[in-house]
Structure 1
Amino acid sequence: MVKQKTIKNEISLSGVGLHTGKEVKMTFKPAPENHGFTFVRVDLEGSPVIEADANYVVNTQRGTNLEKLGVKIQTSEHVLAALTGCDIDNVIIELNAPEPPIMDGSSKFFVQAIEEAGIEEQDAAREYFVVKEVISYTDEATGSEIIVMPADDYQVTAMVDFGTKVLGTQNATMKSLSDFKSEISNARTFSFLHELETLLDNGLIKGGDLNNAIVYVDKEISENTMNNLKHAFGKEKISVKPNGILDNLTLHYPNEAARHKLLDVVGDLALIGTRIKGKVIANKPGHFVNTQFAKKLSKIIKIEQRNQIPVFDIYKEPLMDVNKIMSILPHRPPFLLVDKILEMSSTHVVGLKNVTMNENFFVGHFPGAPVMPGVLIVEAMAQCGGILILSTVPDPENYLTYFMKIDNVKFKQKVLPGDTLVFKCDLISPIRRGICHMKASAYANGKLVTEAELMAQIAKQN
């Protein structure tokens, strides 16, 4: 079992936002288990929180931009890539501006800060989305495509073709997340000259300079453009290097552009909120296709989680047989609806019932087409929950369990003679004053048949 991780200590970085040009302080703080990544705008009243969630993506122009209830976070991808690349699960990211500092245009300084803060293992198990079949998304307008296929580890390959002589076709691969720090984290963001002109004309990249963005020169530079660049970057002189990039920068890798695109993929896919066990292949990736793919995966994961069927060994020796159950529960046949208890902890219980044609209720409930009554399935789940709550007292035989509330009941499949019903009840909140509030589910034939939220209380018999 791989456990979740957070950072040991809080740590801050300062810089400017690439597009806003605003000074910004960003602080990483430890977060509790199952928290995920959240951005907190401490410069706004109430310090609103925006979860790193693909469903909050509202714009992908020059970065992945999130918005929740009117509160925005711009260019989130480099920070999220660093957190994922450092194998972190839960962190609070405080900002006093809408955009993280661009630093050198990579994730390197964020990785260094995370390592300086220290990494701490937590108690909860990490959840994974295990890829079982190929899943793909294609942007018909651009021809960009992302697929994920089964693999034992999280791997990413980015293939880019920019259609320009200065850059051409490039590939980059991360075979394991452990390679992120050394092979991917220092790959810097980049732009083409024609894009740069548009950004400058629209008042963007106010925080840009020749130290945090590689500029590939894909066209002749006019004197007017050269003067604009000098003014924008505060330089007296700007020239083009032989490899086709503006001067004052040396590439870390010949395929640095492809590595940065891979970095963006890692950051954008962090928005699904669950670790991936699979190989991602991105052809001409960009923030739009990345985040659309993240939204698609997020939907698939939520459906899987909702329909996830626990696997139990129904043939192993039970924790309680029917005689032990009758020593705890006051119910007796034909109203005793639990045959075995397979598992039990302080927060959950798993029970089993074999449904046979000999059940009394089949005599009168649709005798020509026998179906187990839904209310009895709910009662059977409640009896399992009763065993859980009665296990908290030393003399369960002296107590009775009474329903207080039944909410959100859903019947999804029919239960027929010959079915084996497995019940799982999980506490929603701790048992207090003999009151048990739980989420109950019933399964048969590998499917969820019934679910409900149940509340009951035990009372001592007079």
Structure 2
Amino acid sequence: IIDGSSEPFVEIIEEAGLEEQDAAKSWYSIDNNITHYDEKKRVEMMAMPSLEYKVTTLIDFNSPVLGTQHAGLKSMKDFKTEIAPCRTFCFLHELEMLLENNLIKGGDINNAIVVVDKKVTDDEMHRLAKAFGRENMEVKSGGYLNNLDLRFPNEPARHKLLDVIGDLALIGYPIKGHIIASRPGHSTNVDFARKIKQYIRKNKHLKNTPVYDPTQQPIFTSQQIEKTLPHRYPFLLVDKIIELTNTYIVGIKNVTFNEPFFVGHFPGNPIMPGVLQVEALAQTGGILAINAMAGGGQYDTYFLKIDNCKFKAKVVPGDTMVMKMELLNPIRRGIVEMRGTVFVGNKVVTEADLMAQLVKRT
């Protein structure tokens, strides 16, 4: 248990040394308020959108010694000095119950703050001194057993903040959000961590969802696309390109009722064929692959394989398909491997892994 804080663990980690990784850290940003309320324990917790990971805790145990306290951490850079040294705490009546049940074998008054908020008899004090192997114990005006000095005036509230940080690490994802916890405890913290984790799993696919702004100037217009791809009406299925890097591309296809395939697919129930959605992805990926080659438009793409293809929702007239193609591996010997996703709004409607070969035009 050491001293009841996390400071010794921080020191051990620093002694071992830190090594910065080459990869960028991946965060999950909370984009909506997530709330949790435990009516029985009167605990309320909330995760709010924030550009940084911040935590605020409030405690109120109806104790004249502790009163109402709050603590805040605006940046994890301050964790070492502001939060890590803060020790755990308990009330004297809780300590007595634990001793009576032969628990807290590793406990000592040096690794916990013991709050005394009621009068203690000499016999009770003598029994506590004997249990902890001390000659005597006393409580003066401060209300803390053996009159220890607090490291911060609000050390108990800061330790509750420390608990929140540790328990929310069970989410399994580093998050950006402002956590506000009123009267938190370990069990409720864990329940809240579980709730946030479920939210992230449900919405994780939205993390890399491309944002389409119709007023944004496209990188490739339809006329520029025709200079790269050989496709023409009615089989050119990419209207414009809004993002293009060395590793991914984002294209747009506005689906209208005038599409020729709606005549037969299906009368009175127009649905864009799934194979044409995959074709639209392939054309988008072709622009990415051709653009990566020296000579640009002097290549054609021929698709070799489609794997893991899933159609998750219908695409109908009026939908705007936002198509993202990502390179899975560097292009070697003209072979391109890509993962494609079609979004309508924030919803994934189609996804597939595609392989193609680049062939130079003759």
Q: What is the alpha-carbon distance in structure 1 between the residues aligned to residue 141 and residue 217 of structure 2?
A: 75
How far the C-alpha of 1:345 sits from its partner, in A, is 1.6
Secondary structure, aligned partner of 1:124: coil
- TM-score, normalising length from structure 2? 0.82
Q: Tell me whether 391-400 or 141-150 shows the greater mean CA deviation.
A: 391-400
Q: 1:222 to 1:333 in 2, by over 3 A?
A: farther
More helix by share: 2
Q: What is the alpha-carbon distance in structure 2 between the residues aligned to residue 199 and residue 346 of structure 1?
A: 62
Deviation readout 1:406-426 (Å, 9 max, x if unpaired): 21413224321x433221112
Q: 1:281 to 1:408 in 2, by over 3 A?
A: same
Q: Residues 437 and 453 of structure 1 are in contact (CA less than 8 Å); yes or no, is this contact kept in structure 2?
A: no
Q: What is the alpha-carbon distance in structure 1 between the residues aligned to residue 82 and residue 199 of structure 2?
A: 30
1:137 is aligned, of 19, 36, 46, to: 36
Q: 1:295 to 1:433 in 2, by over 3 A?
A: farther
Match of 2:198 in 1: 299
Match of 1:245 in 2: 144
Deviation readout 1:222-249 (Å, 9 max, x if unpaired): 8588446534x44333333442322162
Q: What is the alpha-carbon distance in structure 2 between the residues aligned to residue 131 and residue 141 of structure 1?
A: 28
Q: 1:216 to 1:303 in 2, by over 3 A?
A: same
Rg bigger for which structure? Answer: 2
- TM-score, normalising length from structure 1? 0.66
Matches within 5 A, 1:180-219: 180-200=79-99, 204-217=103-116
Q: 1:222 to 1:146 in 2, by over 3 A?
A: farther
Q: Residues 161 and 170 of structure 1 are in contact (CA less than 8 Å); yes or no, is this contact kept in structure 2?
A: yes
Q: Residues 164 and 218 of structure 1 are in contact (CA less than 8 Å); yes or no, is this contact kept in structure 2?
A: yes
Q: 1:398 to 1:137 in 2, by over 3 A?
A: closer
Match of 2:163 in 1: 264
Match of 1:174 in 2: 72
Match of 2:312 in 1: 411
How far the C-alpha of 1:189 sits from its partner, in A, is 0.6
Q: Residues 443 and 450 of structure 1 are in contact (CA less than 8 Å); yes or no, is this contact kept in structure 2?
A: yes
Q: What is the alpha-carbon distance in structure 2 between the residues aligned to residue 380 and residue 317 of structure 1?
A: 21
Amino acid at match of 2:68: Q
Secondary structure, aligned partner of 1:370: coil
Amino acid at match of 2:250: V
Matched, 1:401 2:299: no
How far the C-alpha of 1:125 sits from its partner, in A, is 5.9
Match of 1:255 in 2: 154
Match of 2:237 in 1: 337
How far the C-alpha of 1:370 sits from its partner, in A, is 2.2
Unaligned segments of structure 2, at least 5 residues: none
Q: What is the alpha-carbon distance in structure 2 between the residues aligned to residue 205 and residue 255 of structure 1?
A: 25
Amino acid at match of 1:253: F
Q: Residues 343 and 350 of structure 2 are in contact (CA less than 8 Å); yes or no, is this contact kept in structure 1?
A: no
Q: Residues 51 and 176 of structure 2 are in contact (CA less than 8 Å); yes or no, is this contact kept in structure 1?
A: no
Q: Residues 139 and 147 of structure 2 are in contact (CA less than 8 Å); yes or no, is this contact kept in structure 1?
A: no
Q: What is the alpha-carbon distance in structure 2 between the residues aligned to residue 138 and residue 244 of structure 1?
A: 31
How far the C-alpha of 1:357 sits from its partner, in A, is 3.2
Q: 1:118 to 1:398 in 2, by over 3 A?
A: closer
Secondary structure, aligned partner of 1:452: strand
Matched, 1:453 2:360: no
Secondary structure, aligned partner of 2:316: coil
Match of 1:420 in 2: 320
How far the C-alpha of 1:147 sits from its partner, in A, is 2.5
More strand by share: 1
How far the C-alpha of 1:382 sits from its partner, in A, is 1.9
How far the C-alpha of 1:152 sits from its partner, in A, is 5.9
Amino acid at match of 1:184: I
Q: What is the alpha-carbon distance in structure 1 between the residues aligned to residue 338 and residue 130 of structure 2?
A: 65
1:360 is aligned, of 260, 264, 282, to: 260
Q: 1:131 to 1:175 in 2, by over 3 A?
A: farther
Deviation readout 1:71-90 (Å, 9 max, x if unpaired): xxxxxxxxxxxxxxxxxxxx
How far the C-alpha of 1:256 sits from its partner, in A, is 2.1
Secondary structure, aligned partner of 1:412: coil
Q: Residues 160 and 170 of structure 1 are in contact (CA less than 8 Å); yes or no, is this contact kept in structure 2?
A: yes
Amino acid at match of 2:74: S
Q: What is the alpha-carbon distance in structure 1 between the residues aligned to residue 205 and residue 348 of structure 2?
A: 12
Q: Residues 314 and 342 of structure 1 are in contact (CA less than 8 Å); yes or no, is this contact kept in structure 2?
A: no
Q: 1:146 to 1:356 in 2, by over 3 A?
A: closer
Q: What is the alpha-carbon distance in structure 2 between the residues aligned to residue 222 and residue 375 of structure 1?
A: 84
Matches within 5 A, 1:44-443: 103-111=2-10, 117=17, 124=24, 127-133=27-33, 135-149=34-48, 154-165=53-64, 167-174=65-72, 176-177=74-75, 180-200=79-99, 204-217=103-116, 220=120, 223=123, 226-227=126-127, 230-231=130-131, 233-247=132-146, 249-272=148-171, 273-278=173-178, 280-308=179-207, 309-394=209-294, 397-416=298-317, 418-443=318-343
Q: 1:112 to 1:422 in 2, by over 3 A?
A: same
Q: 1:114 to 1:312 in 2, by over 3 A?
A: farther
Deviation readout 1:101-130 (Å, 9 max, x if unpaired): xx3222334445666746858662653524
Q: What is the alpha-carbon distance in structure 1 between the residues aligned to residue 84 and residue 271 of structure 2?
A: 59
Match of 1:26 in 2: none
Unaligned segments of structure 1, at least 5 residues: 1-17, 19-102
Q: Residues 425 and 438 of structure 1 are in contact (CA less than 8 Å); yes or no, is this contact kept in structure 2?
A: yes
Q: What is the alpha-carbon distance in structure 2 between the residues aligned to residue 160 and residue 251 of structure 1?
A: 17
Q: Tell me whether 182-191 or 341-350 shows the greater mean CA deviation.
A: 182-191
How far the C-alpha of 1:295 sits from its partner, in A, is 1.7
Q: Residues 413 and 448 of structure 1 are in contact (CA less than 8 Å); yes or no, is this contact kept in structure 2?
A: no
Q: 1:319 to 1:156 in 2, by over 3 A?
A: closer
Q: What is the alpha-carbon distance in structure 2 between the residues aligned to residue 226 and residue 138 of structure 1?
A: 41
Q: What is the alpha-carbon distance in structure 2 between the residues aligned to residue 356 and residue 333 of structure 1?
A: 14
Paired residues, number: 355
Match of 1:49 in 2: none
Secondary structure, aligned partner of 1:172: strand
Q: What is the alpha-carbon distance in structure 2 between the residues aligned to residue 316 and residue 328 of structure 1?
A: 21
